[in-house]
């Protein structure tokens, strides 16, 4: 792949859940990596094990500070812009910061990529489709987003980031790509993340009630982190601009997910119901034909296998199992 020629990569948000897996994969392939993160939602513990690589460096900084990015020494061949709070708990706690990193942070990362002649990949999201009226969601669908709802700080920051990335490509010829990521899960998610998989796993391992929003009939399409990383790097190594959906195609209700996690953990936890958040999407499943045709990509890890791996990691490193 063309990606084998990446000598140095910059990963903004590299100490986060998904960013740390990208750093790890790039390092394993022989690419030097600068992990750039302000640790607002990331953690040093996600990348501590990467210190053994001579080509790894963690730089504490904020993508919204142009000088911090532009003063990084050397030239990058690849810029992966993954800096942004990604869970509802985080972006509702940090609404202005979320908007800033989607706008100013994206502009700064694009300018660094342009200055270096680097390939730039924007981490966008299935949230650009909002509560979709089209199912499954194809990249040509414009979405159904509430621009002033509580989730808008994330949705609209990513929609703006996509527009900015597209304009940069058109005006400056910057080598850009946009990946729309659907419901990735796996090791290194936080127990207090607020998203369904880590929440249900933590509750089940602790013997607590699993809190399913609404009646649990809303669906998501889970994608294990290794598969998402494969898709992101396949897009980076291609000549495609996107946007490209990367996500699982096996749709599951939140109630079924909760019950399955209880079974996988061997927990006696009951399943209960809580109020459903405002603008919570009813259905979510990507149309991945573009990824299959352009990138020869499709998920390899079943959600059953991926959940088992994730539960094992949480049980070993994060949660004291109830006796």
Could you list the active site residues?
154
User: Would you say 95 and 26 are in contact if contact means Cβ atoms under 8 Å apart?
Assistant: no
Q: What is the mean pLDDT of residues 229-248?
A: 97
The pLDDT score that the predictor gives to residue 290 is 97
Rg (CA), the chain: 19
Model confidence at 278, pLDDT cuts 50, 70, 90, reads confident
- Helix 303-317, helix 196-205: angle, nearest 10: 60
- Tokens 């990604």 belong to 86
Q: CB–CB of 10/56 below 8 Å?
A: no
Q: Tell me the pLDDT band of 88, cut-offs 50, 70 and 90.
A: confident
DSSP for residue 144: B
What distance in Å separates the CA atoms of residue 42 and residue 94, rounded to the nearest whole number?
Answer: 13
Report pLDDT for 192.
81
Residue 323 has pLDDT above 60, yes or no: no
Proportion of the chain in helix, strand, coil states, percent, rounded to 5: 45, 20, 40
Q: Facing residues of 32 across strands? A: 8
pLDDT at 2: 42
Distance of CA 313 to the CA centre of its chain: 19
> How many other CB atoms sit within 10 Å of the CB of residue 155?
25
Fold classification of 2-184+223-246 (topology level): Rossmann fold (3.40.50)
Sheet holding 244-246, edge to edge: 56-60, 32-37, 8-12, 78-81, 119-125, 176-181, 244-246
> Over the chain, what is the mean pLDDT?
94
Region of residue 314 (left: phi > 0; alpha: psi -120 to 50; beta: else)? alpha
| CATH architecture for the domain at 185-220+250-284+301-317 | Alpha-Beta Complex (3.90)
> Does the pLDDT value for residue 188 go beyond 80?
yes
Query: Per-residue pLDDT for 25 more than 50?
Result: yes
247 neighbors 181 (Cβ within 8 angstroms): yes
196 pLDDT higher than 50: yes
Six token digits for residue 107: 């502009």
Q: Where do the domains of the chain lie? A: 2-184+223-246, 185-220+250-284+301-317
pLDDT of residue 321: 52
- pLDDT recorded at residue 320: 62
> Which position has the token pair 């990015």?
69
Ranges 19-23, 151-155, 276-280: which has the least confidence: 276-280
Q: Strand, coil or helix: what is 323?
A: coil
């Amino acid at each position: 792949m063309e990606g084998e020629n990446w000598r140095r990569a910059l990963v903004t948000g590299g100490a986060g859940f998904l960013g740390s897996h990208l750093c790890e994969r790039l390092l394993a392939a022989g690419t030097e990596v600068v992990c750039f993160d302000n640790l607002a939602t990331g953690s040093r513990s996600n990348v501590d094990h990467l210190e053994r690589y001579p080509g790894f460096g963690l730089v504490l900084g904020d993508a919204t500070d142009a000088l911090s990015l532009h003063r990084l020494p050397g030239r990058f061949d690849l810029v992966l812009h993954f800096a942004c709070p990604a869970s509802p708990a985080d972006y509702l706690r940090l609404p202005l910061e979320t908007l800033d990193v989607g706008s100013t942070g994206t502009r700064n990362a694009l300018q660094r990529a342009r200055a270096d002649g680097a390939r730039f990949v924007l981490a966008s999201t299935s949230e650009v489709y909002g509560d979709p009226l089209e199912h499954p969601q194809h990249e040509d669908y414009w979405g159904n987003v509430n621009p002033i709802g509580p989730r808008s700080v994330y949705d609209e920051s990513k929609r703006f980031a996509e527009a900015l990335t597209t304009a940069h490509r058109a005006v400056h010829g910057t080598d850009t790509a946009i990946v729309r990521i659907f419901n990735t899960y796996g090791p290194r998610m936080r127990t207090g993340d607020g998203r369904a998989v880590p929440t249900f796993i933590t509750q089940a391992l602790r013997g607590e009630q699993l809190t399913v929003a609404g009646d649990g009939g809303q669906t998501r399409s889970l994608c294990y982190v290794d598969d998402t990383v494969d898709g992101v790097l396949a897009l980076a190594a291609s000549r495609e601009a996107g946007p490209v959906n990367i996500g699982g195609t096996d749709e599951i209700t939140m109630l079924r997910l909760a019950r399955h996690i209880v079974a996988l953990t061997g927990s006696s936890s009951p399943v209960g119901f809580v109020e459903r958040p405002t603008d919570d999407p009813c259905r979510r499943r990507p149309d991945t034909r573009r990824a299959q045709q352009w990138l020869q990509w499709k998920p390899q890890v079943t959600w059953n296998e991926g959940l088992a791996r994730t539960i094992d990691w949480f049980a070993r490193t994060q949660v004291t199992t109830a006796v």
